[in-house]
Amino acid sequence: MDIVLISAAFIAGFAALKCHLPPLVGFLLAGFALQAWGYQSNETITTLADLGVTLLLFTIGLKLDIKTLLSKEIWASATFHNLTTSVLFAALFAGLKLLGLGSFASMDLGQLLLLGFALSFSSTVFAVKALQEKGEMNATYASVAIGILVMQDIFAVIFLTASTGKLPHWYAIILFGLPLLRPIFFRLLNRVGHNEMLVLFGVVFALVVGAGLFTLVGMKPDLGALIMGMMLAEHRKASELSKSLFNIKELFLVCFFLNIGLSAEPTLNALLLALLFIALLPLKGLLYFITINAFKFRVRTSLLASLTLFNYSEFGLIVGGLAFSLGWMSADMMVALALALSLSFVIAAPLNRLGHKIYQHSGKWLQEHAAEKLNQRDRLINPGQAQVLILGMGRIGSGAYDELKARYGSICLGIEVKEDAAAEHREEGRNVIAADATDPDFWERILDTAQVKLVLLAMPHHQGNQTALNQLKARGFKGQVAAIAAYQDQFDGLFASGVDAAFNIYSEAGSGFARHVCEQLQPPLTARID
């Protein structure tokens, strides 16, 4: 049976990809189709799905800055949205109860609030997958959305602890000693190398040290994986560790989405309830937009963050299962939550893919904050006298910056999405600011580009470079543009979009290595003419 499930997932995922949809939409639909044919989930699929979510939260933690969670725009936005959505949805359900609508008629106020609470959460798994596929995990709007989702995960742990009546064991106090062990963890990470031992290190720390330890003391294992990732986030190999776990995490998450479809046995009543929940989704998205925009983020940031959160969460299924087991919720309501979750993914996937276009068409109708009142992370950009803009200050971007500075002096401005990384570059003497180069408003935020003659697209994700190139051309940039790429189809896409030069990060690395060796060692080689 496992062979049938995995084969169906591959076929459906491939079909979704060819329809320009995220593969996860295909995985969900495959689950529903198999369920209709009589297939059910099994222990293997469920276990792999749980492992995928745990590894996902661990990798989120590796990229998470604790200062982000402590900022008021994150914790206050998450708290206000969850409370407002829960109460508002419960009030709407209470109105349906008064009308005598079957499924709501037998529910009391507490149960209606619980249902509203379950629907107030958004899916961390979906959001991270959508952001990774667009190559925008480090964008300003992405950090806001992920911060809100992490706060929601914390709310989830508090709820599960309170509702089940299971308090952590008294010896959970040992968890406060984990930060004292971080130097040991760092030294171990330094010594595991860069290959299979690095992958194994990540799996052990996510599933054993993080999830296992938290389970042992009576707390949610996923929270343990998230916190363990956050503890390692400041290590210089945190990014490399996250990348090493990417493929295994993606494989396990296929089982997660497949499992959602297999878990629901649709009935007509459940389908009607699910459609009602889907009808409320725009209201939930609007509340996200209003809440985020209230903290002086630009319209674009608020809109894209809201689209990222425009879905229901797998946490709703956890709440539904708990409520069903306690007799607080009917079986149809639980199935409706599963259907609504799946349908919200199907709706949100193309919306996220078209997010920039949606903003371009709707942004002009939405009122923007005054420039001087914008959130510090969304302020206007002043390039000064820079003649070269380098978008993406990773290893390639940094190397290009240093080479150009050595040749021409201080003519470059680096653009880096992470504020802490930009600060490190400035400490090293580079002229670098924090901004999102894929932002459709990026060039409009730059006060004066008259001096800019060359733009280097050096972001690690091809989609980010392609998006930035499209924005450049759409705004009539007259200077030269060069980009990095790894594969032939990426080269073709870049040149078709008007790039002036492209650099193959694989083949050119080899020629650069040989050139460096010849210049530094001047080996006593004799040229031959074949």
Task: Report how far residue 151's alpha carbon sits from residue 223's, in angstroms, rounded to the nearest whole number.
Answer: 11
pLDDT in tens, the chain (530 residues): 578 888 888 998 898 888 876 687 788 788 888 888 888 878 888 888 888 888 888 887 887 777 777 788 889 999 999 999 999 999 999 998 888 777 788 888 888 998 999 999 998 878 888 887 776 776 778 889 988 998 887 787 677 656 656 677 888 888 888 888 999 999 999 998 888 899 999 999 999 998 888 888 888 787 888 889 988 988 888 888 988 888 888 888 888 888 877 876 777 888 889 999 999 999 999 999 999 999 988 888 899 999 999 999 877 776 776 677 677 777 778 778 888 888 898 899 888 888 878 887 876 778 777 766 777 766 767 777 888 999 989 888 898 899 899 888 988 999 987 778 888 999 999 999 887 777 655 666 665 666 788 999 998 888 888 888 887 887 778 889 999 888 888 888 888 888 898 888 777 667 777 777 777 777 777 666 65
The total number of structural domains in the chain stands at: 2
Q: Which domain holds residue 204?
A: 1-363
- The pLDDT score that the predictor gives to residue 41 is 79
Structure tokens at 139: 């964008």
Residue 136's φ and ψ, nearest 5 degrees, are: -125, 30
The reply to whether 382 falls in a domain is no
Q: Which residues contact 445 (CB under 8 A, 6 or more apart)?
A: 379, 380, 381, 435, 439
Helices (H) and strands (E) in the chain, counts: 27, 6
The reply to whether 370 falls in a domain is no
Same-domain status, 403 and 261: no
Same-domain status, 355 and 401: no
Task: Report how far residue 232's alpha carbon sits from residue 189's, in angstroms, rounded to the nearest whole number.
Answer: 9
pTM (2 d.p.): 0.70
SS (H, E, C) 309-329: CCCCCCHHHHHHHHHHHCCCC
Strand ranges of the sheet holding 432-434, from the earlier edge strand across to the other edge: 432-434, 412-416, 388-391, 454-457, 480-485, 501-504
Same-domain status, 337 and 486: no
- The pLDDT score that the predictor gives to residue 530 is 55
Same-domain status, 437 and 357: no
Task: Report how far residue 6's alpha carbon sits from residue 183's, in angstroms, rounded to the nearest whole number.
Answer: 41
3-class state of residue 283 by DSSP:
helix
Evaluate the CA torsion angle 243, 154, 87, 291 in order and state its sign.
negative
Provide Rg for the chain, Cα atoms: 25
Task: Report how far residue 14's alpha carbon sits from residue 323's, in angstroms, rounded to the nearest whole number.
Answer: 36
- Cα dihedral 256, 257, 259, 263, rounded to 10, equals 130
The reply to whether 41 falls in a domain is yes
- The pLDDT score that the predictor gives to residue 166 is 65
Is the distance from CB of 145 to CB of 127 less than 8 angstroms? yes
Selection from 235, 246, 251, 249 nearest residue 62 by Cα: 235
Same-domain status, 167 and 283: yes
The reply to whether 368 falls in a domain is no
The reply to whether 245 falls in a domain is yes
Residue 433's φ and ψ, nearest 5 degrees, are: -125, 160
Task: Report how far residue 179's alpha carbon sits from residue 301's, in angstroms, rounded to the nearest whole number.
Answer: 34
Selection from 506, 508, 483, 507 nearest residue 496 by Cα: 483
- The pLDDT score that the predictor gives to residue 331 is 72
- CATH number, domain of 495, equals 3.40.50.720
- The pLDDT score that the predictor gives to residue 132 is 77
What is the bridge-based pairing of β-strands 480-485 and 501-504? parallel
Same-domain status, 438 and 347: no
Is the distance from CB of 337 to CB of 316 less than 8 angstroms? yes
Domain boundary among 363, 379, 396: 363
3-class state of residue 248 by DSSP:
helix
Task: Report how far residue 67's alpha carbon sits from residue 81's, in angstroms, rounded to the nearest whole number.
Answer: 20
- The pLDDT score that the predictor gives to residue 442 is 65
Is the distance from CB of 137 to CB of 59 less than 8 angstroms? no
- The pLDDT score that the predictor gives to residue 390 is 92
Q: Which residues contact 332 (CB under 8 A, 6 or more apart)?
A: 103, 267, 269, 270, 273
492 vs 160, 382, 462, 498, 509, CA distance in Å? 51, 33, 12, 10, 20
The reply to whether 50 falls in a domain is yes
The reply to whether 372 falls in a domain is no
- Cα dihedral 255, 78, 162, 66, rounded to 10, equals 80
- CATH number, domain of 69, equals 1.20.1530.20
- The pLDDT score that the predictor gives to residue 334 is 78
- The pLDDT score that the predictor gives to residue 447 is 56
Same-domain status, 340 and 394: no
The reply to whether 135 falls in a domain is yes
Same-domain status, 340 and 398: no
Same-domain status, 51 and 149: yes
- The pLDDT score that the predictor gives to residue 164 is 59
Task: Quote the Cα angle for 148-149-152, to 5°.
Answer: 90
Is the distance from CB of 348 to CB of 310 less than 8 angstroms? yes
- DSSP bridge pairs for 456: 390, 482
* DSSP H/E element including 480: strand 480-485
